[in-house]
Amino acid sequence: MPGFGDRAAAIVVIGLAPAANGANRTGRVFTGDRSGDFLYAALHRAGLANQPTSEHRDDGLRLDGAYVTAVNRCPPPANRPTPSERDNCLGFLVRELRLLGRARVLVTLGSYAWDNSLRAARELGAELPRPRPRFGHGAELELDTGLRLLGCFHVSQQNTFTGRLTEPMIDDVFARARELSAGS
């Protein structure tokens, strides 16, 4: 599943993988499932999407200043990617980030996206600090390439239904992403 959005985006949102009953069915990442509903509503509130929902690939959703993608390109069994799946897909993320030449902020949805965004950044020439920075909601990291990572709990139902990730929390992350992208 390829990424979707504004190819001149300064903000790139990176998730784990396409959902079997969402993106795999609809043909667009974070579309047609509750995780996507939560994410696109937040992007809309942040002024990065023209509408708050996405039901299918041709529903008119447009992103402005944002691009949405995932580390893995296929839905993993039981939503748990294997190391070989991750390794096979990482090159796609690296190439996508290379093509998104104006990207300045990576909003990583969950620790899997954080860790693999660091791996992709290293492939793109970034020197990673030691010890390796850990994921946390609201965590920030500026790399020597000028690229910044922002951590956000994943928009999965297990986080949004339990209140681990709330609308104000994700809104704060996107407000910070907009602030950082404007300053670059």
| CATH, residue 103 | 3.40.470.10
Q: 0.75 exceeded by the pTM?
A: yes
pLDDT digits (tens, 9 = 90+) for 17-70: 776 565 556 767 777 778 888 999 999 999 999 999 888 888 899 999 999 999
Lowest mean pLDDT among 27-31, 117-121, 159-163: 27-31
Report which of 49, 46, 53, 51 is spatially closest to residue 67, judged by C-alpha positions.
49
* Distance (Å, whole) CA 172 – CA 184: 19
Domain residues for the domain of 93 are: 4-182
Q: Which amino acid is at 123?
A: E
Say how many domains are in the chain: 1
pLDDT value of residue 92: 92
**Packing angle, helices 83-99 and 111-123, rounded to 10:** 60
CA 69 vs CA 51, 82, 124: distances in Å: 18, 19, 17
* Distance (Å, whole) CA 10 – CA 91: 20
DSSP symbols for 130-173: SSPPPP-TT-EEE-TTS-EEEEE----HHHHTTTSS-HHHHHHH
Report whether 145 contacts 125 (CB < 8 A). yes
